[in-house]
């Protein structure tokens, strides 16, 4: 398999995240990381752009968005002032790219580490994330909650916020409201059960 960056030498280094992209050496890998991270790892987001799912609760408050990893390219265009990332732990080079795109020196950034696996204890982040989102919105910041595709992990945290801070009756009612704007929203069954178990 040829090196993805130079296309001339044999690829011997393998991307640790996707496990199918190869490079001939560290120089090509380093040169290509940002493009690979955005174009290949974020392909789902081309079908799932960031979505504004809640308008400001009152004048002076921010709006709430849900999206995937490629929304990182659109933060300024969307007017995003604060970011919640819900991802697995990343390769150091991916971590550096993400940090560069988010620019935490100019916008608050909250991170959680979960896989999109029904057994993951995402409920551990429910209350802290909801309080943080509420604080940022009240400060007038537009908040983006994102995972890889903006389908399961990020939507789960947004549903909890909607139930506990915005008066939605339960997880099903909140999910219906999100799907009206973002049809691909689909938390896995384990995450939905965790939401329902917290608010029966």
Task: Give the integer Cα–Cα distance in Å for 106 and 89.
Answer: 23
Question: Catalytic one among 3, 24, 28, 147?
Answer: 147
Token pair 């001339």 in the structure block, residue: 8
Q: In what order do the strands lie in the sheet with 109-113?
A: 51-54, 64-67, 143-146, 82-87, 109-113
Task: Give the integer Cα–Cα distance in Å for 31 and 24.
Answer: 12
Does residue 188 sit in helix, strand or coil? coil
- Backbone φ and ψ of 51, nearest 5°: -125, 135
The answer to whether residues 144 and 70 touch, using CB atoms and an 8 Å cutoff, is: no
Q: Tell me if residue 147 is catalytic.
A: yes
**First and final C-alpha spacing in the chain:** 53
Q: Which positions are annotated as active-site residues?
A: 147
């Amino acid at each position: 398999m040829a090196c993805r960056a130079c296309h001339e030498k044999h690829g011997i280094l393998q991307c640790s995240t996707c496990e199918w992209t190869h490079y001939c050496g560290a120089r090509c890998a380093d040169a290509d990381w940002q493009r690979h991270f955005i174009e290949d790892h974020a392909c789902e987001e081309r079908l799932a752009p960031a979505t504004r799912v809640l308008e400001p609760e009152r004048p002076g408050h921010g709006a709430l968005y849900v999206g995937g990893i490629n929304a990182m390219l659109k933060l300024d265009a969307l007017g995003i002032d604060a970011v919640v990332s819900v991802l697995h732990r990343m390769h150091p080079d991916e971590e550096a790219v993400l940090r560069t795109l988010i620019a935490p020196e100019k916008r608050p950034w909250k991170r959680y580490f979960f896989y999109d696996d029904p057994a993951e204890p995402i409920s551990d982040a429910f209350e802290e994330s909801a309080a943080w989102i509420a604080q940022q919105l009240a400060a007038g910041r537009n908040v983006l909650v994102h995972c890889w595709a903006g389908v399961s992990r990020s939507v789960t945290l947004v549903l909890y916020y909607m139930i506990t801070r915005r008066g939605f009756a339960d997880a099903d009612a909140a999910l219906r409201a999100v799907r009206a704007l973002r049809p691909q929203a689909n938390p896995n069954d384990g995450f939905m059960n965790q939401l329902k178990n917290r608010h029966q």
